Amino acid sequence: MIVTLRKNTPQKEVEKLYKYLEEKNVQVNIIRGENFNVFGLVGDTTHLAERDILANEWVENVRRVAAPYKLANRMFHPEDTVVDVAGVKVGGNEKIVVIGGPCSVEGEEQITRIAEEVKECGADMLRGGAYKPRTSPYSFQGLGYEGILDLKAAREKTGLPVVSELMSADKIDEFEENVDLVQIGARNMQNFDLLKACGHMTKPVLLKRGMSSTIEDWIMSAEYIMASGNPNVILCERGIRTFETYTRNTMDLAVIPLIKEKTHLPIIIDPSHATGDYRLVEAVSLAAVAAGADGLIIEVHDHPSEAWSDGAQSLKPDRFEELIRKARRVAEAVGRTL
């Protein structure tokens, strides 16, 4: 971290700031100029907030040389992390995983039927929402624990690991016992108490990017989980909120190479929530595979017009199967399998 002081800062103020920073357990190196003084801070500066230092009236500028995240940083972990989800490996340079299923679990018969369909199409895991965060309090909120048990029944019949969204820490034991990949949704990406609680789980965590979050915000949320003891984090890009209205969100495909450059964590793409339109899901999925994504999570429903939530962005099984066929060819072209 580099701290630049204002022009002609009094020596007593330089010494006062030096002592303040030294007490923060970092090495402080002073570069003295004719009019300016610059402090170079060496060591673990993750606990130092730029705003706290800028509160000093004699500080002109604060700039980080290295990113504030450590555990997720590729600099300290050059090899790719591969996360094991009940035997399905996510990450690395070979297999791209596909997760398919409905937005909401609507009953055991429905989720089991769709699980069998997505498995036949080539999916590696089953997704399904039992607890649903909805914009309107009057919308369907999910079946709750009953939905979790329905997912468990579908897993027993198909062998597919299940992915579902955790919304509150009081459900952790329920998810620890029954869910293979615990999803933290966009609205909870900065629910830090929930993230820390997930850090104490043994199950891997799928962390979705917040709809208005920067890449660094997102990685720092992953850092919360990892710093609390759980290294098995998979990042999920699901589109961010912009001024555009033709799609539900704006898919940030550039985030794929950026995440791979800055972190060692796997990243998967959610084209369903990014576009909000089943007609756009295939194109975005193929682009994501070409860009280096480690997986896709896609909403699939055999009767989208009757779906209890998000039918407009759900693929029917035949379109899902066609997408996987095309994605395999794209994966092969970039040296991977699907």
- Domain ranges in the chain? 2-63, 74-333
CB 199 within 8 A of CB 226: yes
Return the closest-CA partner of residue 175 out of 200, 192, 157, 140: 200
pLDDT by position in tens, the chain (length 338):
889 999 888 989 999 999 999 898 888 888 777 777 888 887 778 788 889 999 999 999 898 877 788 889 887 788 999 999 999 999 998 899 999 999 999 999 999 999 999 999 999 999 999 997 777 777 777 899 999 999 999 999 999 999 999 999 999 999 999 999 999 999 999 999 999 999 999 999 999 999 999 999 999 999 999 999 999 999 999 999 999 999 999 999 999 999 999 999 999 999 999 999 999 999 999 999 999 999 999 999 999 999 998 899 999 999 999 999 999 999 999 999 99
Return the closest-CA partner of residue 270 out of 262, 199, 246, 255: 255
pLDDT score, position 181: 98
pLDDT score, position 29: 82
Structure tokens at 304: 């989208």
pLDDT score, position 252: 96
In terms of Cβ atoms closer than 10 Å to its own Cβ (0-12, 13-18, 19+), residue 118 is: buried
Q: Phi and psi dihedrals of 188, rounded to 5?
A: -105, 10
What Cα–Cα distance (Å) separates residue 77 from each residue in 81, 225, 294?
A: 9, 16, 18
pLDDT score, position 45: 83
**Could you tell me which CATH number the domain at 2-63 has?**
3.30.70.1140
Mutual angle of helices 255-262 and 278-291, in 10-degree steps: 40
pLDDT score, position 338: 95
Amino acid identity of residue 280, one-letter, is L
Count CB neighbours of 254 within 10 A.
11
pLDDT score, position 168: 94
pLDDT score, position 300: 98
Return the HEC string of the chain.
CEEEECCCCCHHHHHHHHHHHHCCCCEEEEEECCCCEEEEEECCCCCCCHHHHHCCCCEEEEECCCCCCCCCEHHHCCCCCCEEECCEEECCCCECEEEEECCECCCHHHHHHHHHHHHHHCCCEEECECCCCCCCCCCCCCCCHHHHHHHHHHHHHHCCCEEEECCCHHHHHHHHHHCCEEEECHHHCCCHHHHHHHCCCCCCEEEECCCCCCHHHHHHHHHHHHHCCCCCEEEEECCECCCCCCCCCECCCCHHHHHHHHECCCEEECHHHHHCCHHHHHHHHHHHHHHCCCEEEEEECCCHHHCCCCHHHCECHHHHHHHHHHHHHHHHHCCCEC
CB 297 within 8 A of CB 268: yes
pLDDT score, position 140: 75
CB 165 within 8 A of CB 194: no
Whole-angstrom distance, CA of residue 288 vs CA of residue 290: 5
Whole-angstrom distance, CA of residue 84 vs CA of residue 289: 20
Amino acid identity of residue 198, one-letter, is C
pLDDT score, position 8: 86
Task: Tell me the CATH number of domain 74-333, given options 3.40.50.720, 3.40.50.920, 3.20.20.70, 3.20.20.140.
Answer: 3.20.20.70
Whole-angstrom distance, CA of residue 218 vs CA of residue 220: 5
Amino acid identity of residue 337, one-letter, is T
Whole-angstrom distance, CA of residue 228 vs CA of residue 246: 39
